[in-house]
Structure 1
Amino acid sequence: MHMLDGYAVAFLLMLSLSVEVIDASAGDADPHYRICVSQCEESGCVGERCFPNCKFSSDGEPIDRPWYMQEPLYLQWKEWDCQSDCRYYCMLDREKEKELLNQGPVKYHGKWPFSRIYGMQEPASVAFSALNLAIHFHGWVSFFILLYYKLPLEDGKKAYYEYAGLWHIYGLLSLNSWFWSAIFHSRDVDLTEKLDYSSAVVLLGYSLLVAILRSFNIRDEATRVMVAAPLIAFVTTHVMFINFYTLDYGWNMIVCVVMAVAQLAIWAVWAGVSRHPSRWKLWLVVFAGGLAMLLEIYDFPPYEGLLDAHALWHATTIPLTYIWWSFIRDDAEFRTSDLVKKAK
């Protein structure tokens, strides 16, 4: 997922912007839903269901158990706070009522009505994010094995491929980004949102840097530093801005779309100009990724409360990620072969 990162982050942030703008969605503006949530927050119950996270004393004040009686964090992660449980079950009840009236689902607080599984908010997106992480891990490990166990080494130690170190860092940043994507879709709270966004921005900025260094064939360390310094400084400043000042969805979207479009254009043009033997893989990722974006544009409610357009879009990045790492391996073989010939 390299050029793929461009599509991914750009549309994730456009989606996030829409979530922020329509936080007061049709569902949570519904008077029946609002009354249900209000009553639940007072009583701790929706119908016959009462929630242990809504704890009240005899005078109606919320209470918490002492620390030594609380479950460990890894078990607490499956639980939601009182407000979240009230919203979730009021949403489910309201959607059942609307279904009986032949009315379609609507969004609540900017999100479609998903069904939780093991406490996960968007289980399909979690699963596909985890699969993307697995494919990245496979791609990175296979790249490592190719470099150091299958291709000739310079002086028996160092890989001939000049961009090996850059791709190793890319692999680590990709794993980090998809890990937090899975966590964010599992539990959408302020901390997981910022970690997901920050990881995505860092990966996107680094992807742009690698695109520049590889396409312009920049191998000199001093020149690499000169090219990288302003981009790293900008990305670092932006990450600090969205974490410690304000998470401005609009500005974040602009920054990421610009970096995404820039790297996509660089790779697509370079593939044609360089006549790279595996250029078809680059173009395949560009065009297939572009078609996959239609899933984000054509937003539809989750099937059976699980599978929505965004989850399907995550699914499409899995095979494209495999193809992308295949191109990276091909590039390593191509450059190594060329350099070995010159060394003889």
Structure 2
Amino acid sequence: MRASIALFLLYGRLVLASRGDISTPYQECTSVCRRVHSCPSSFSHQRWTSGDCFWCKYDCMWNAVAVFSSQGLPIPQFHGKWPFYSTFWAQEPASAIFSLLNLLTVNEMRRRVQRLGEGNEERTEYSVMRRVWIGYTIVGIVTWVCSTWFHCTDHLWSERADYFTAFAFVLYANYAALLFTFPSLRRGWRSSGISTVCLLFYLRHVSNMSSHFDYGWNMALCIGCSVCTLLTYLVYLFRRWRRFGSLSSLRRSDRMLLLVLTWTVAAVSMELHDFVPFFFSVDAHALFHAATIPLPLFTAHFLELNHRESGFEYAKIV
């Protein structure tokens, strides 16, 4: 069966190239996939992500790439994504592997955060922030599981899970930054109010995106939340600078936080680029995932340093 499709692809490539039409090969080829393998009409259907439908569409994609290359034209995207060399277990192996590594590091952060505050249970700010950071790592674990799923098999439900959990992770990071920077928000109705507002905002976003999926708006919102998180931590560092008098006198935790923020900005900047994947394996999004791998470990080290320094300063005051 694949031999007959290959003959069709070769014939189509010769005919279409001879008449200068390069937009049709992929569409006509996938129409053959539908007839031969009874593939669904919508490419968002899960059947296109595995089995004969996937590999037939995969052959069509590379046939179209060959046509574009033979005409000296730029490599196209297919359904909003660059062509990748796929394996039997993942459509985008590099991004899937990097997502798994992020899952491991955020789980290590969870393990280290759970030890924070031990022996200081009487201090409310320790117990509150400990719960906040544990919640952050749990959301992160779910996010990277969904990201791995999406890069292994791209269909409607895996895409929604990836985008919605990613936004939850970004929004939760903003929430944690607010409570960390402004301790007065951790108590009473303020904490409950902020939590409720964030939850309602998230549910409203998911509802709107479910009825009309807008990639640009989702990206803009994620970047906006990330900028708010960055500015919140800069307020924290500014207050620390005012307290200690100079940048050189900042504590080790403050310098670690500067590293976390700088690394985060550099990683997110990769997401703003778009180019043909290196060797059809690693694109800007994969590099973004690779760059975020050490961030949970850096953040855990920052929290550990801050915890020790805060305990020391508290002991001095007492």
In the alignment, is the contact (CA less than 8 A) between 1:281 and 1:323 conserved in 2? yes
Name the structure 1 match of 2:24. Answer: 31
Q: Is 1:322 the counterpart of 2:315 in the alignment?
A: no
Name the structure 1 match of 2:213. Answer: 247
Q: Using the alignment, how far apart are the partners of 2:49 and 2:193 within structure 1?
A: 48
Q: Is 1:43 the counterpart of 2:25 in the alignment?
A: no
What SS does structure 2 have at the residue aligned with 1:318? coil
Gaps of 5+ in 2: 1-20, 40-45, 242-249
- 1:181-220 equivalences under 5 Å are 181-218=147-184, 219-220=186-187
Q: Using the alignment, how far apart are the partners of 2:59 and 2:217 within structure 1?
A: 34
Name the structure 2 match of 1:231. Answer: 198
Instruction: Give RMSD over aligned pairs.
Output: 3.0
Q: Using the alignment, how far apart are the partners of 2:128 and 2:316 within structure 1?
A: 15
Gaps of 5+ in 1: 1-27, 45-53, 56-75
In the alignment, is the contact (CA less than 8 A) between 2:139 and 2:169 conserved in 1? yes
TM-score scaled by length of structure 2? 0.78
Name the structure 2 match of 1:180. Answer: 146
Q: RCO greater where, 1 or 2, for CA within 8 Å and sep 6 or more?
A: 1
In the alignment, is the contact (CA less than 8 A) between 2:83 and 2:280 conserved in 1? yes
In the alignment, is the contact (CA less than 8 A) between 2:49 and 2:154 conserved in 1? no
- 1:8-87 equivalences under 5 Å are 30-44=23-37, 54=38, 80=50, 83-87=53-57
1:184 Cα deviation (Å)? 1.1
Name the structure 1 match of 2:10. Answer: none
Q: Using the alignment, how far apart are the partners of 2:268 and 2:168 within structure 1?
A: 21
1:158 Cα deviation (Å)? 8.8
TM-score scaled by length of structure 1? 0.72
Aligned residues: 283
1:36 Cα deviation (Å)? 1.8
CA 1:339 to 1:160, structure 2 compared with 1: closer, same or farther past 3 Å?
farther
Name the structure 2 match of 1:313. Answer: 288
Amino acid across the alignment from 2:92: E
Moved more, 268-277 or 95-104: 95-104
Q: Is 1:132 the counterpart of 2:107 in the alignment?
A: no
Q: Percent identity?
A: 28
1:290 Cα deviation (Å)? 2.4
Q: Deviation per CA, 1:286-317: give whole Å up to 9, x if none.
A: 22332334433332212222111211111011
Which residue, 267, 271, 280 being the options, matches 1:296?
271
Which one has the bigger helix percentage?
2
1:220 Cα deviation (Å)? 1.7
Q: Using the alignment, how far apart are the partners of 1:318 and 1:83 within structure 2?
A: 33
1:284 Cα deviation (Å)? 2.0
1:232 Cα deviation (Å)? 2.1
